Amino acid sequence: MSHLELRQLAAGHGREPVFQGLDLAVAEGEFIVLLGPSGCGKSTLLHAIAGLVDVQQGQVLIGGRDLTDADPAERGIGMVFQSYALYPTMTVAGNIGFALRVAGMPAAEVTQRVQRVARVLQLEPLLQRKPAQLSGGQRQRVAIGRALAREPALFLFDEPLSNLDAQLRTELRRELKLLHRQLGSTMVYVTHDQVEAMTLATRLVVMHEGRIQQIGTPAEVYGRPANRFVASFVGSPGMAFEAGTLRAGPQGQTSFVSPRLQLPLDPATLDHAPRDGQAVHLGLRTDQIRLHPDGPHEAAVQLVEPLGGQAVVWLDLGGCLLAALWSDAVLPTLDQRLRFTILSAGASVFDATTGQRC
């Protein structure tokens, strides 16, 4: 049974819905990441689950109960937002235990819960401090602790790490992942950060303009994007596209053909039977470009982006820019000509008109 189920949901801020007819089923213990560009409706969806915006149509079911019209407080949800509004005059312990005390929990039990949460989030040495005496990352951990203390079965996170610097973000990301493993609770997490999405999600939900574009594991969404939007939005560096047509060969082998490129396609990468002459876009990631002195293709280096241990090398194949990974310590120079092979395994093909995966 789904722990969280959205049925034909429509919600928005005025009368115009931000999304409509939205279906989503989340199993217990999943870590769902909602990923999409700014304004696509991620926060509105999260707020609809929490009961913080009006649902115009459809249903929100949590634990099998229809809670579409229930108060936020009755939904058994823990929420963590981007801006962690802690009570400045209360200590860390006071902040974490606040909602429990308000709910009438006996003081001894509150203390126990606060201790347990502090242990999990490594906040024990900080329990008597005030928020002003904490770093940004510590404050955000307190905000997570506050949600955790109520022991909800469902957590909603709205870009909880986006206000932190890169190093803290990486640390807290790891802690969240460990926390999820320890607690086994269901989590729905909004971000537009690729790395967060890829590393945290058990399943990714990619949204664009109020519509779910694809639902799948990070590997599925990265490896078999459902359409051109997902292909270009997910993965860094982005996928390179080349316009061309499909050609059926004599032995039933289908090839991609463009003025610059001819590539026999791996049938395993195609979802549908290819049509001879179909106008398509071929999508190539760094995974498909193998730099190799004996490779059949040659292109000039247009740009080198060092990443530390590796570098991304952008190759100009007659106007089509392809990204390749470079792991040698000595970087190639601009305009240097490199040879490479294009692997058809894992390549994506999209219909030129609809943008849908072929």
Q: What angle do CA 102, 105, 111 make, to 5 degrees?
A: 100
Q: Which two tokens stand for residue 253?
A: 């082998």
- Least distance (Å) from ligand ATP to the CB of residue 305? 25
Region of 39-47, 83-91, 110-118, 299-307 interacting with ligand ATP (CB under 6 A): 39-47
Residues 353 and 358: their CA atoms lie apart, in Å, by 11
With CA atoms as reference, report the closest residue to 201 among 214, 211, 216, 182: 216
Region of 22-30, 33-41, 132-140, 244-252 interacting with ligand ATP (CB under 6 A): 33-41
- Least distance (Å) from ligand ATP to the CB of residue 72? 16
Window 219-278: residues binding ligand ATP (CB under 6 A): none
Single out the residue of 40, 79, 153, 206 in contact with ligand ATP (rule: CB under 6 A). 40
* 211 in contact with ligand ATP (CB under 6 A): no
Residue type, 243: A
With CA atoms as reference, report the closest residue to 268 among 341, 348, 213: 348
Q: Which residues of 15-40 are buried (b: 16+ CB within 10 A; e: fewer)?
A: eebbbbebebebeeebbbbbbbeeeb
* 83 in contact with ligand ATP (CB under 6 A): no
Contact between 274 and 358 under an 8 Å Cβ cutoff? The reply is yes
- Least distance (Å) from ligand ATP to the CB of residue 20? 13
* 36 in contact with ligand ATP (CB under 6 A): yes
Single out the residue of 4, 6, 11, 18 in contact with ligand ATP (rule: CB under 6 A). 18
- Least distance (Å) from ligand ATP to the CB of residue 43? 3
Of residues 41 and 131, the one with the C-beta less far from ligand ATP: 41
Window 186-205: residues binding ligand ATP (CB under 6 A): 192
* 213 in contact with ligand ATP (CB under 6 A): no
- Least distance (Å) from ligand ATP to the CB of residue 358? 29
Residues 345 and 350: their CA atoms lie apart, in Å, by 15
Residue type, 128: Q
Residues 175 and 100: their CA atoms lie apart, in Å, by 24
Of residues 74 and 209, the one with the C-beta less far from ligand ATP: 209
Of residues 38 and 167, the one with the C-beta less far from ligand ATP: 38
Window 41-70: residues binding ligand ATP (CB under 6 A): 41-44
* 33 in contact with ligand ATP (CB under 6 A): no
* 38 in contact with ligand ATP (CB under 6 A): yes
* 7 in contact with ligand ATP (CB under 6 A): no
- Least distance (Å) from ligand ATP to the CB of residue 12? 7
Residues 32 and 156: their CA atoms lie apart, in Å, by 10
- Helix 107-120 and helix 92-102, axial crossing angle in degrees, nearest 10: 130
Region of 40-48, 221-229, 269-277, 345-353 interacting with ligand ATP (CB under 6 A): 40-48
- Least distance (Å) from ligand ATP to the CB of residue 64? 27
Alpha helices, DSSP H only, in the chain?
42-50, 92-102, 107-120, 136-149, 166-183, 194-200, 218-223, 228-233
Residues 2 and 7: their CA atoms lie apart, in Å, by 12
Contact between 222 and 214 under an 8 Å Cβ cutoff? The reply is no
Q: Which two tokens stand for residue 120?
A: 């999990």
* 160 in contact with ligand ATP (CB under 6 A): no
Number of residues that bind ligand ATP (CB under 6 A): 11
- Least distance (Å) from ligand ATP to the CB of residue 17? 10
Interface with ligand ATP (CB under 6 A) = 13, 18, 36, 38-44, 192
